[in-house]
Amino acid sequence: MKKNNIGLIWNVIVHYKYYIVFILGALVVLVLDENSVLHQVQLNSQIESLKDEITKYTEDNKEATRRLRELERNPKAIEKIAREHYFMKADDEDIFVLSDDQIKEKEPNEKVK
């Protein structure tokens, strides 16, 4: 009985050997290989996202270059940045820093230290 099953399987393999080899080859090329179609699709997706990043960084670089040129040409721009970012002021000026943060109210059960 067991020898009969092996003979039957062998007959199927011999009869369909080209189809079996073709299916196994396609499986290796499409899925299992290091350079498979699935891997190529993933790499193409990664390339597109990297191209988008390059575009974004190129635009950021152009904007930074424009601001740098303005700083080199215009002393008022340097003064503006010093006032806005570093809270510098002239001798006859006062600075008021406004905050959008909301003050947390004390809860009735909270003890004051």
Neighbours of 71 (CB within 10 A): 14
Task: Assess contact for 77 and 71: CB atoms under 8 A.
Answer: yes
For CA atoms 42, 48, 53, 54, the dihedral sign is positive
Is the pLDDT score of 17 beyond 60?
yes
Query: Could you tell me the pTM of the whole model?
Result: 0.49
Question: 3-state DSSP: the chain helix, strand, coil percent, rounded to 5?
Answer: 70, 0, 30
Q: Which of 1, 24, 26 is nearest to 13 (CA)?
A: 24
Is the pLDDT score of 111 beyond 70?
no
Alpha carbon distance 21, 25 (integer Å): 6
CA angle 78, 83, 85 (to 5 degrees): 90
Task: State pLDDT tens for residues 19-74.
Answer: 999 999 888 888 877 778 888 899 999 999 999 999 999 999 999 999 889 888 88
Q: How far apart are the first and last CA of the chain?
A: 90
